[in-house]
Amino acid sequence: MCDKLKGEGTQELENAKKCWQQTEKDGLKKRDQKMSSKVKQDAAKAIEPKLHQLMENHKEEIERLEREANRTLDYFRLELYKRSNEEYRKETNKIRDDERSRMSHLENEWTAKMEASRRDRDNETKKIARNTSRGQI
């Protein structure tokens, strides 16, 4: 009978232990649920200054990169402007040279025509003078 009582006592003790463990688990769950939002808020508050610092550092890095990109863009704009001006200067000089050449060619052509016209006129004048001296007008 002692063994029987001992077995029943052990079983009751085991049941009580399980009941106590379940009660502890439930209590811990309830406390965890109550505390979790507070813990989250406290954690957010705790990391907020660090988060702001990281954001500020990131902002400064972005601003630095933007300034660097703008300097690079300005450099390329200046280079493009220089090239454009150089091409414009070359094209303008070419046009001027072509115009000078064309004008020189026209001048030579007109001079040749005028010289030919003068020779024709001189020849005609000599012919008239010869005919006049012979009396054949």
Mean pLDDT of 73-98: 96
Please say whether the beta carbons of 137 and 131 come within 8 A: yes
Across the chain, mean pLDDT equals 87
**What span, in angstroms and rounded, lies between the C-alpha atoms of 120 and 29?**
126
Please state the pTM of the whole predicted model.
Answer: 0.41
70 pLDDT above the threshold of 80: yes
